[in-house]
Chain A
């Protein structure tokens, strides 16, 4: 899953960690940059959708402009 926007990378990483823990899915950050966040996500498809929705709002100090998914598999999305 790739988030494009304007990020405080550490803040967004913590936000992802918290939401992934709440949803009981795995979220492994792969790239944390000011304009691009890449994270490998694994879990139930519905919960991964919820994760994407939660992160698309993000923390107050970040702005998500677009979300892209690559390599998604049914039931185990990334």
Chain B
């Protein structure tokens, strides 16, 4: 299977505190996700237009993010507003970071997978959810999705090609798949129902990761699929 352009969860919203930044990847594209002091989250290309330094290494100052390298500061629209070496310079509009459309829903930060001013479809609607954790799996997104689709790692309801739900330890969990790189996948897990049992869910998460990384390719062939269907 291949994944299409769309909205993808890239972080647990609660984990991105005001005044902090974090680097992530979507389809191997490097992205900085940061939250300003007013509480709004932003997702941009993780690259300062000046020297290419990752902005995720930078510092959030109020509602600006400053590059670690030379301190160039960008406002929430990605526009450079201040260059320390040229404090009196009126910064031209062309010095701007490429941004991604982003939104928050269900306790997750979502971004549209293409660099564009506006996403062609609205972001996911908000839903009640409690954050659980993010899992980073050393397996391709296609294989992780196939394992979840096939029920090899347990029974999952398929909500979309990148969204899954399951009931575990008295709780209903929703898993959002983030194609990180060709060989790495993130799963962002939130709890949508039931009482939390953090220890049980943590153990289940680790077991899930172990299964996702251990399932042999032979278990995903059409023949293996047929054999499972006939059981």
A and B interact: yes
Q: Interface residues, chain A, CB within 8 Å of chain B? A: 21-24, 44, 46-47, 50
Consensus secondary structure, chain A interface: helix
Question: When the two chains form the complex, which single residue of B49, B89, B94 contacts A46, counting CB atoms closer than 8 Å?
Answer: B89
With both beta carbons as reference points, the residue of chain A lying nearest to B92 in the complex is identified as: A24
Asked if B93 is an interface residue, CB under 8 A from chain A, the answer is: yes
Consensus secondary structure, chain B interface: loop
With both beta carbons as reference points, the residue of chain B lying nearest to A21 in the complex is identified as: B94
Interface string of B72-92 (1 = CB under 8 A from A): 000000000000001001101
Q: Interface residues, chain B, CB within 8 Å of chain A? A: 49, 86, 89-90, 92-95
Q: How many A-B residue pairs have CB under 8 A?
A: 18
Set of chain A residues within 8 Å of B92, measured between Cβ atoms: 23-24, 47
Set of chain B residues within 8 Å of A21, measured between Cβ atoms: 94
Residue contacts A-B, CB under 8 angstroms, 12 given: A21-B94, A22-B49, A22-B94, A22-B95, A23-B94, A23-B95, A24-B92, A24-B93, A24-B94, A24-B95, A44-B89, A46-B86
With both beta carbons as reference points, the residue of chain A lying nearest to B89 in the complex is identified as: A46
Set of chain B residues within 8 Å of A24, measured between Cβ atoms: 92-95
Cα–Cα, bound, A22→B92 (Å): 8
Given contacts A23-B95, A46-B86, list 16 more A-B pairs with CB under 8 A: A21-B94, A22-B49, A22-B94, A22-B95, A23-B92, A23-B94, A24-B92, A24-B93, A24-B94, A24-B95, A44-B89, A44-B90, A46-B89, A47-B89, A47-B92, A50-B86
Set of chain B residues within 8 Å of A22, measured between Cβ atoms: 49, 94-95
Cα–Cα, bound, A23→B96 (Å): 10
